[in-house]
Structure 1
Amino acid sequence: MKLKHLLFFGLSFFVFISCDDNETNDPDPVVESTFGIRHDKELSEYESIAATVSPENPDFRTVVQFKYSLDGTDEYDYTASGVVIDEEWILTAGHNFYDKSEQSNPAPVSGITIRVGNDPNNPDTTYTVESIYIHPTWLNGDQNYSDANDLCLVKVSSAIADITPAQLFTDKTETLGNKVWICGFGDYSKLEGQDKTMDSKKHAMENVLDRLQEGLETSVNGVTYSGGLVAFDFDNPGKTINSLGDDIVNADEKILGEGTSDPEPMEYEATTVSGDSGGPLFLKDTDGAWKVSGILGGGASNVFEGHVDGSYGDISIYTRVSTSYDWISSVMNDEE
Structure 2
Amino acid sequence: MSERIRLTEVSKQYVANKKATPALALDGIDLLIEAGEVYGLIGRSGAGKSTLLRMINGLEAPTSGQVLVDGVDVQTLSPGELRTLRHGIGMVFQQFSLWNSRTVYGNIATPLKIAGWKDADISRRVGELLDFVGLGGKAFARPRQLSGGQKQRVGIARAIASRPSILLADEATSALDPQTTTEIVDLLRSVNREFGITIVVVTHEMDVISRLADRVSILSQGRVVESGEIHQILARPSHAVTQGLVGSYTRTALTDAEKTALRDRFGGRKISVAVDDVLVNSPVLSRLARENGVDFAVIQGGVARVKDQPYGQLSLALYGDDVAIDRFTADLSAQTEVTAW
TM-score normalised per structure 1 = 0.24
Query: Relative contact order (C-alpha < 8 Å, sep 6+): which is higher?
Result: 1
Q: Hey, which of these two has a bigger chunk of helix by percent?
A: 2
Q: Which has the larger radius of gyration?
A: 2
TM-score normalised per structure 2 = 0.23
